[in-house]
Structure 1
Amino acid sequence: MTNKKNRFFTLVFSCCPGAGEMYMGLYKHGVSLLSAFCAIAAVAFWLNWEELLLILPVIWCYSFFHTHNLRQMTEEEFREVKDDFFFAGYVDARPDWRLTEKHRRLFGVILLFLGLSVLCKTGVNLLGTFFYVPEFIWRFGYAVPQIAVAGVILSFALGLMRGEKEEPVEEEKEETAEENIAEKLQKEEA
């Protein structure tokens, strides 16, 4: 894999988030950037939360300049670049894909803010038509999916912030069982 690609095509593909990385041969990185860009746009329009669109220029700029930085690297530096998914550093390498302890609370707070702001915006929108019943019913029907998604986001955020209840290790279970048996034997002897 080489990073000495055509300058014109590098410029053209770098204008689409993720496409430049894929053109350079970093498919996982490119696909994850393009997916994040499209997913954020879809969620922002679906939940009627335009503020979320402020993340899109950040992703676009990162992708644009990352592509050009990849092209400027030497061949040795480029060979050392790992083709990994964009958020791979935030997830453990375990098969269950749990978030690392370090980032679990951060994502929980971000999701909590997202869920509360969607509920707040939807509530203010509904209150504006509260006294005109037909429009209120129409807007409420439109807002039901937004309210449901906000509820799911809030429950997921609270679960992340609370943390996972860790199961006792098998050795601890065995020790506890042995202690219980020892206690029973001592009671019987006494």
Structure 2
Amino acid sequence: MHRERNKLRAFFLNFLPGAGHFYNGNYIRGALYFLISFGELFISFLLGGVMGEDELMGLGLAAFVLLWIVSMLDLLIGLLKNPSRPANPMDFVDPQVPYEIKEIRGENERFQIILLSFIPGLGHFHMGLMQRGLSFLISFFGYMTVMLFLTGVTSSSAFLLLFGVLPVIWLYCMFDAVQHIHRKLAGEELRDRSLFEDLEAGREDGKRSRVLATLLSAFPGAGQMYLGMQKRGLQLMLLFLGSIYILDLLRLTLLFFLIPIIWFYSLFDGLQLVSSYGREPLEDRPVIEGFLNHQGWLGAGLLALGMYYILANLAIPALDARFPEWHLQYRVNAYLKTVLVSVLLIGGGLKLLAGSRKGGVVKRKGGPS
């Protein structure tokens, strides 16, 4: 009888070309992959060192990588073409099935699910969870299509930053598939619910998924909004995306260091809220307190931004075409950024100084007489 092999172990062993084939019982194929891969690599490096040709070493390394890819694809095709008997939850309580066979069958099915889940949704399809797999498939590729469409239509590279959501969806899909296969092997009944039905059920029960909240925290504001803190999440999201847009529009590269600061602040804030969720009540406190009291400053900022946009994209090009000897476009590009950054830094410094003086006065008034 053909001995069952652990496919996951064969897959990782084959990171050394040929080792996975050898473990699977294909001794000739495994030996050929090993000898050809390392043989050509050794010969190319030997000849390259003797002749002083770095290009020959590079070609040998490229050939080694190509042979490694071919070896991995050959192994994967063989593993998927000849699937072993799928794990049955009843096998784990059947005393006639040896323990080693139970473990191998369970690991083999985990391997198939993990491998298929590299394309979001396929692992769920393999387990018969059609609605759940379809929701992951549509979420991943639908979001990718929308971002590519917006990038192409607007000709703006700023939308490429939003592609950071795709790894979050992919990781959550992978984690969800592994979690479901563990439940299946434990004998639990799997319910074919879409991702959106899970969110609705969590909302009805008053509970949120800590894992999903942690993954969503990778995008500023999304984790906070998922946990029910709409004001805080919306402010962080507007602060992050608005800063990217404004700094890119005004070409203020000097202030781009603010973007990772906002991102890290939002990430650690989300992780802190996730750790506190369920143990203590969460208060939806906005990041900027008294936001309504700063509507005047916000309106003035939007008005100034609109005037700058009209000036930079309409008035200056028209005047530069009418009076080329003035070199207006060059002067704006050369000096306007310096003026804007200087005004922002000086204005921010004066605001902080004024606030510290007021705080000192209040402290003296509140002291003992």
Instruction: Point out the structure with max Rg over C-alpha.
Output: 2
> TM-score by structure 1 length?
0.48
> TM-score by structure 2 length?
0.27
